[in-house]
A and B are shown apart, each in its own frame.
Chain A
Amino acid sequence: MKSSSFRRIAAVTATAALILAGTTACGRGSGDEASGPKVVLAISTLNNPFFVELRDGAQAAADEAGVDLYIVDAQNDSATQANQLATAAAGSTKAVIVNPVDSDAASASVGELTAANIPVIAVDRTVNDAKLTSLVASDNVAGGKQAADELAAAMGEKGTVISLQGVSGTSASRDRGAGFDEGIAAYPEITVVAEQTANFDRASALDVTTNLLQANPGVTGIFAENDEMALGAIQALGARAGSEVSVVGFDGTADGLTAISDGSLYATVAQQPAELGRLAIELAVKAIAGDDVEATVPVEVVAVTKTNVGDFSK
């Protein structure tokens, strides 16, 4: 009996120690200068290279501007994000940059922040029904159109296409898909033969593309709503990628750019996530200083192909 209660105490102590270590290690970004204004970056997920790059861009800009940046990760859960925003509203926060998990779900939490006169800058996705100080976003619909144009060019404006969709119901998937459909409709000799979800996930895209190629062996083009899925599709195509079948992705992640350099990925629409992060910090600093800021700051989306990939690779 004694040894078992001892074990239990040991287990509890270990757990507590872990939690403490976790909180102290994670709560803040880098940099020790606690002197700067406190800005919270509430990010939807760090489970995806795109947002990791966005965070890195913001962190770099914050270090430069002497901002004390706190980064919280909602792990794609709206409820978690609401809690994190509520915590931000209660602290000594001077500004909040929010990358909402869901544009509708975040509106109440953002409302509380604006009511407390804390400037809120949305990044990448907007927050509906909220008085945002500013929105920094790339135009996903325009990006989808550009992707359609690139793919059409690669295919000689004729042939059949597979479209790989992201997580059903997300705004990124909706907007990119809508832009692509609109863009591809301008090429009468191109038909989209299958539209299936692969959940923005490389492994799913591998399986789904393999299956779709079975049903549609003659496709010459694949559009994927993000680079991860494009890379999965390339894996499924094997040697056919880049030669018989042109693949166009979206996001311009490091792996995607590498794939463009080696020719397996024809093009991607680069969102410049680091630029999104950098601009968001700049706007936050301006807002804290009381300067006027633009209501929407569009960030250029750029089609990246082999010709200009050098400008993007780091």
Chain B
Amino acid sequence: MSTTTTTPSTETPTRRSFDYKTFLANNGALVGLVVLCIALVIATPDFLTGQNLLNIGIQVSTVAVLAFGMTFVIVAGGIDLSVGAVAALSAMASGWFFVSAGLPGWMALIGGLVVGLAAGVINGAANAYGKLPSFIATLAMLSVARGLTLVISDGRPIKTAPEVSFLGGNIGPVPMPIVILVLAAVVASFILNRTVLGRSMYAVGGNAEAARLSGLPVKRIIVTVFALAGLFAALAGLLLAGRLDSAQPQAAAGYELDAIAAVVIGGASLSGGLGKISGTFIGALVLVVIRNGLNLLNVSSFWQQVVIGLVIALAVGADVLRRKTRNS
């Protein structure tokens, strides 16, 4: 329906001056976040304090960094269930490099990142060349990475290198996790918006065959996308370990679901081709603010799970609505 015979839209502000459906569908996450914050400000005086906002910033860092990596994968039409496990493995490997292998701290830190990158490359290769659906390939990686984490650690936490702990500390008055979060967001957003790789991700996720026939190296793009997800997962894992001064064998368990939820709440489509880093960041904030608020209000943990589930359902509902308005 591209042809129109009516007057230009600017001249008919009368009846449908505000299309709330379209607005909600396109900005659902942001509206939700604002509503949530207003409700919490009213409900508890502890929410809107400088320290609490700083806390939220720190708490969102891990899940947001994980979710940035997930955004690449989902935009490119895949899914990565292994990010939580890869985060734990990278942190544990880094701890092992430092404590057991006796490497200098900075090498242990880089080593952890390399482990995450490698896990991502394997995910990507299994998907692009091994023809495994990404769901299956990364489900396998989830199990393998979680298992290797336990093998390395023998089920016990390992102390991290001071360089890793620095990631969880402060630089002057500013918490490092927030600094890293901002850097990661800038880098991720740059990759997605400005680089050939980023633009190609949208094409591959939107229609891989059309992208291939247009000469885009689809398989290489997929491997790079998963490698990036692995790298961001490793960064998130090191961040988490840094905050605890130790790598935990069960760290980040279930975080992949938080990351997927953040991406979807942020407006990406699970069928690929759509998604933004800013949206994902808002999605991650929604999850963390809910948890923070429910803690402040001392709400029973049973209800917390119910609330988070409902938020995800609402977000996916918005996705469906978005499709409907687009296709009609």
Contact = CB atoms under 8 A, between A and B. Distances in A.
Are A and B in contact, CB atoms below 8 Å, in the complex?
Answer: yes
Interface of A: 7-8, 11, 46-49, 51-52, 165, 168, 193-197, 201-203, 206-208, 210-212, 214-215, 228, 231-232, 235, 254-255
Contact of A203 (B44, B129, B244, B304): B244
Contacts, number: 88
B245 A235 contact: yes
B51 interface: yes
A215 B298 contact: yes
B301 A48 contact: no
A255 B248 CA distance: 12
Nearest to B55: A210
B250 A48 contact: yes
B291 interface: yes
Contacts of B296: 211-212, 214-215
A52 B250 contact: no
Nearest to A52: B155
A231 B245 CA distance: 10
A207 B291 contact: yes
Contacts of B209: none
Interface string B32-76: 000000000000101001011001001100100000000000000
Given A7-B130, A215-B295, A215-B298, A235 B244 contact: yes
A211 B55 contact: yes
Nearest to B60: A207
A215 B44 contact: yes
B301 A165 contact: yes
Given A7-B129, A215-B46, A232-B244, A207 B59 contact: yes
A231 to B, nearest CB: 8
A207 B154 CA distance: 26
B162 interface: no
A203 B131 CA distance: 36
Contacts of B304: 197
Contacts of A49: 155-157
Contact of B55 (A168, A214, A255): A214
Nearest to B157: A255
A257 to B, nearest CB: 13
A172 B52 CA distance: 31
A168 B302 contact: yes
Nearest to A198: B301
Most chain B CB within a 10 A radius of its CB, from A194, A196, A208: A196
B79 interface: no
B246 interface: yes
Contact of A196 (B44, B59, B295): B295
Contact of A51 (B62, B155, B157, B298): B155
B116 interface: no
A52 B154 contact: yes
Contacts of A254: 156
B240 A203 contact: yes
Contacts of A165: 301
B62 to A, nearest CB: 8
A195 B298 contact: yes
Contacts of A48: 155, 250
Nearest to A4: B131
Contact of A214 (B46, B240, B245): B46
B150 A46 contact: yes
B251 interface: yes
Nearest to A22: B147
Nearest to A205: B244
A108 B291 CA distance: 38
A49 B154 CA distance: 8
Most chain A CB within a 10 A radius of its CB, from B46, B51, B245, B251: B46
Given A210-B55, A211-B59, A254-B156, 17 more contacts: A48-B250, A52-B156, A168-B301, A193-B298, A195-B298, A201-B248, A201-B250, A202-B251, A203-B248, A203-B251, A206-B243, A208-B295, A211-B291, A214-B51, A215-B298, A231-B244, A235-B243
B89 to A, nearest CB: 14
27 contacts: A46-B150, A47-B249, A51-B155, A52-B154, A194-B298, A197-B301, A197-B304, A201-B248, A201-B250, A202-B157, A202-B248, A203-B244, A207-B59, A207-B292, A208-B295, A210-B59, A211-B291, A211-B296, A212-B298, A214-B49, A214-B52, A214-B296, A215-B46, A215-B295, A232-B244, A235-B243, A255-B157
